[in-house]
Amino acid sequence: MNFKMLKKMQSRQDRTFNATLGSFMLAAMLFICTGCPSVAPTPTPADTFKITGVSLPGTLQVTFGSSYTLTAKGFKTGDFVLFISSADTTLQYKANLTSAAETSVVFDIPTDMKSGSYKLYACRGTKRISLGTIAVTIAADVSVPDKDGMTVKGVVYCGGKGVANVPVSDGVEVTTTDAKGIYYLPSAKKYGYVFITIPKNYEPTVTASIPQFFKELQYAANVVEQCDFELFQTDNSKYMLIAMADIHLANRNNDISQFQTDFLNEVSAEISSRKASGLKTYILTLGDETWDAYWYSNNYRLPDWLNTIGSVGAPVFNIMGNHDNDPYCTDDLEASAQFRKYVGPSYYSFNLGDCHYVVLDDIVYINTGGSQGTIGDRNYAATVTEDQLQWMQKDLDLVADKSTPIFVAMHIQMHNTPSALSNGEQLTSYRVSNASRLLAMTNSFSNVQYLTGHTHTNSYFDCKATDAAVTNSTIERNIAGVCATWWWTGKITGNHICLDGSQGGYGVFDIDGKSAHYRYKSMLYDDDYQFRTYDRNTIQLTADKYVPSGSSDNKTEFASYVSDYGSASSANQVIINVFNFEKGASLKVTEDGRELSVTRFSGKDPLHIISYEAARLNSGTSPTSGFVTETNVHMFKCTASSPSTTLVITLTEPNGDVFTQTMTRPKEFSAAMK
């Protein structure tokens, strides 16, 4: 079948053409492009060959196996053209010349070439000359006619051929592609985009780390437009998924520098190492990439986030957080418009290997008092809208294998952070208003994990314990923040620590088929740094010691934050903060080979108290109420026989991981401690 619907591609969007004109206009466009302004070749030594008169289009849209005529002088028989990917220099495609005239050459498009940005070179033997940079789009050889009542249509293709059974949605309607990869949607275009659910063992084009599984719609609801999606086959049955919550970049507190130095450098190196071993990595944010309060005053908004994360070296799937809304808007749909415009859909789904991921936006932005030029209260409701719930049900209905691992990712935690224990079990309630309905929708699957952020703390929930209707294996992982305490502690003490005492970090899943192995990764620490130990004998939080430069009011205020650590102790008690403590995990402490009794309790982490509250008061500033140390239920204590014995602490995770620390006592307490 001849390709009759080549469309003039723009960045992140398609332009629709009437079916009656498309076959003529688009075929002509490929040759009109050769009349674009010339691109000067890179200067070369005198003993090399010369190519002049180059006319290179900014975008080249072709089908597999088709020929392209390049306007240029100086080519000879035996020369060839080399495409080198701008994003990955190991991705190179050689195109031999099929003819060489005085002012032009013809070459065939390599049959295995991928769409993307390329640097184009003229080659003669071992010598090459740069001809410029070109964006190449490999389109499917499929014509999509109009159909009554259908306002959005297109084809999903790989290697120039349609891919069948790919879900396609506009956020309301859901359909699947037919045997030729064609889809139709009767879309009212409410959300302004169309997206596909990436199928197993495929990937879309990735631009600046953002997978291009979505297209922005351009016209009114009654105008038919075509949006095509290109996929590439890959084996992603085994991969690493990084779940990063609460980045809160706002161009303050040295946040961008800290993020680039601590997170990007660390993660990019890990991604490169895995890539060299043939393993894939994907990143899933959990919302609050930016900070709405500072969008306009500090000039850091969603496009800036994309620029910052664009160099990470792995596909990034973004989730909307409450701080990713426009603070001038009071309507939820309007407030989230910039996220949809610059980042992508606010809810969608995708498959990686054998796992199915559902991304939700569980924030209804209210923003009382907001208006153009005025930031409102930035308040919101924690709920999943009815449109999303209906779409989610349609999406899950297409997952026939109920043993498929389901990951539901959203920003606000489904359960409130527990602050108390009863008979050793954590007490909690729902934070998201319709959490029970979400759990009911995923109850038919045997393996479900909800991934959330928002709290800047680590918590683990067995959903059977909170909802009697849950009969399957469903858990929630509430993952602590990359920004920790909004980048404050890293700036003022160098100790990047979250409200519950967890080190600032992110979640890591090693996925192999349907098996998911999880660990929490503290930034700038080894993988085995899973807990911190305290020698209570060395802790006494006094204003004279920790707020020496503060005013008398600052010192008085400090007393309200010290919790149980204001007085000295000689009881030889040891406190252990386990950052990620799951059901089925165990903590063992031995002293000279003798096992000590360990008790779990709810309490505050003393290191966070001196890293944030004390540090702010010492600078003469009261702490922000939402940033102060929180009570958590992953604290443990035991009592040693003397103040100077050495303890061996062993954490055994239910997944089989074992982490051991040797604690030499007495252990100094300070902001620089590990």
Q: Given this model, what pLDDT does residue 215 score? A: 95
Do 343 and 408 share a structural domain? yes
- Identify whether 669 is part of a domain: no
- Identify whether 388 is part of a domain: yes
C-alpha to C-alpha distance for 568 and 536, rounded to whole angstroms: 8
- Identify whether 148 is part of a domain: yes
**What domain range is 506 assigned to?**
235-522
% the chain with pLDDT above 70: 92
- Identify whether 11 is part of a domain: no
pLDDT digits (tens, 9 = 90+) for 583-614: 999 999 999 999 999 999 999 999 999 999 99
Q: Give the CATH number of the domain where residue 159 resides.
A: 2.60.40.1120
pLDDT digits (tens, 9 = 90+) for 427-438: 999 999 999 999
In terms of pLDDT, which residue wins out, 38 or 154?
A: 154
- Identify whether 188 is part of a domain: yes
Do 442 and 294 share a structural domain? yes
Q: Give the CATH number of the domain where residue 62 resides.
A: 2.60.40.10
Of 503, 522, 541, the residue at which a domain comes to its end is 522
Do 275 and 357 share a structural domain? yes
Confidence of residue 58 (pLDDT cuts 50, 70, 90): confident
Do 295 and 403 share a structural domain? yes
- Identify whether 6 is part of a domain: no
Q: Given this model, what pLDDT does residue 313 score? A: 93
Do 244 and 147 share a structural domain? no
Of 118, 139, 160, the residue at which a domain comes to its end is 139
Residue 386 identity = E
Do 536 and 412 share a structural domain? no
pLDDT digits (tens, 9 = 90+) for 615-672: 999 999 999 999 999 999 999 999 999 999 999 999 999 999 999 999 999 999 999 9
The residue whose two tokens read 């204001």 is 566
Residue whose C-alpha is closest to residue 108's, from 89, 94, 118: 94
For 23, 28, 29, 66, 142, the CA distances from 4, given in Å and listed in that order, are 4, 11, 12, 13, 7
Q: Give the CATH number of the domain where residue 426 resides.
A: 3.60.21.10
Q: Give the CATH number of the domain where residue 545 resides.
A: 2.60.40
C-alpha to C-alpha distance for 629 and 498, rounded to whole angstroms: 8
Q: Given this model, what pLDDT does residue 154 score? A: 96
Q: Given this model, what pLDDT does residue 141 score? A: 67
Question: Which segment of 83-97, 253-267, 529-543 scores lowest on mean pLDDT?
Answer: 83-97
Q: Given this model, what pLDDT does residue 49 score? A: 87
- Identify whether 668 is part of a domain: no
Q: Is the pLDDT of residue 6 over 60?
A: no
pLDDT digits (tens, 9 = 90+) for 440-454: 999 999 999 999 999
Q: Is the pLDDT of residue 31 over 90?
A: no
Count of domains in the chain? Answer: 4
Question: Which segment of 58-72, 236-250, 282-296, 566-580 scores lowest on mean pLDDT?
Answer: 58-72
For β-strands 632-639 and 515-522, DSSP reports them as unpaired
Q: Given this model, what pLDDT does residue 91 score? A: 87
Q: Given this model, what pLDDT does residue 64 score? A: 67
Do 546 and 404 share a structural domain? no
Question: Which segment of 133-147, 162-176, 246-260 scores lowest on mean pLDDT?
Answer: 133-147
Do 194 and 239 share a structural domain? no
Do 440 and 313 share a structural domain? yes
Confidence of residue 10 (pLDDT cuts 50, 70, 90): very low
For β-strands 174-176 and 473-478, DSSP reports them as unpaired
Do 220 and 107 share a structural domain? no
By the 8 A CB rule, do 563 and 609 touch? Answer: yes
- Identify whether 7 is part of a domain: no
Residue 537 identity = N
Other CB atoms within 10 Å distance of the CB of residue 175: 19
Residue whose C-alpha is closest to residue 215's, from 3, 60, 7: 7
Do 511 and 382 share a structural domain? yes
Both tokens assigned to 336: 């989230």
Mean pLDDT taken over the chain: 91
Q: Is the pLDDT of residue 367 over 60?
A: yes
Span 64-88, average pLDDT: 89
Of 97, 119, 139, the residue at which a domain comes to its end is 139
Do 451 and 341 share a structural domain? yes
By the 8 A CB rule, do 341 and 226 touch? Answer: no
C-alpha to C-alpha distance for 43 and 56, rounded to whole angstroms: 17
Collect all residues with Cβ–Cβ distance below 8 Å to 512 and sequence separation of at least 6.
237, 238
Q: Given this model, what pLDDT does residue 47 score? A: 54
Q: Given this model, what pLDDT does residue 40 score? A: 35
The dihedral through the CA atoms of 364, 370, 375, 378 has a sign that is negative
Angle at 268 between CA 263 and CA 270, to 5 degrees: 100
